[in-house]
Amino acid sequence: MTWSVYILRCVDGTLYTGVAIDVARRFEEHQSQGPKGAKYTRGRGPLKLVYQSEIGTRSEACAEEYRIKQLSRSEKKALVAG
């Protein structure tokens, strides 16, 4: 199983970062606004997947998620832009 880090852009322009094995499934959970989606993304749809990176283990993915969450908004925008 390969874990990935992903970033979603919410309709209000904010960015949400998470980790998952199946990013497409996780995106649909967020998009559906149901109980399996993150509280943060509820009411902020429609969402757009703007960044995805396969990392490896869950531990490595969580470490990368933490690193991304520590970035400033401008640094996150640069990461998303490529």
CA distance 53 to 64: 10
Instruction: Read off the pTM.
Output: 0.93
Query: Residue type for 3, please?
Result: W
Assess contact for 62 and 69: CB atoms under 8 A: no
* pLDDT at 25 (0 to 100): 96
Task: Find tokens 């640069």 and name the residue.
Answer: 78
Phi then psi for 71, rounded to 5 degrees? Answer: -70, 155
Per-residue model confidence as pLDDT tens digits over 20-70? 999 999 999 999 988 899 999 998 989 999 999 999 999 999 999 999 999
Q: Which domains does the chain have, with CATH numbers?
A: 3-81 (3.40.1440.10)
pLDDT mean over 64-82: 95
Residue 63: which H helix or E strand, with range? helix 58-69
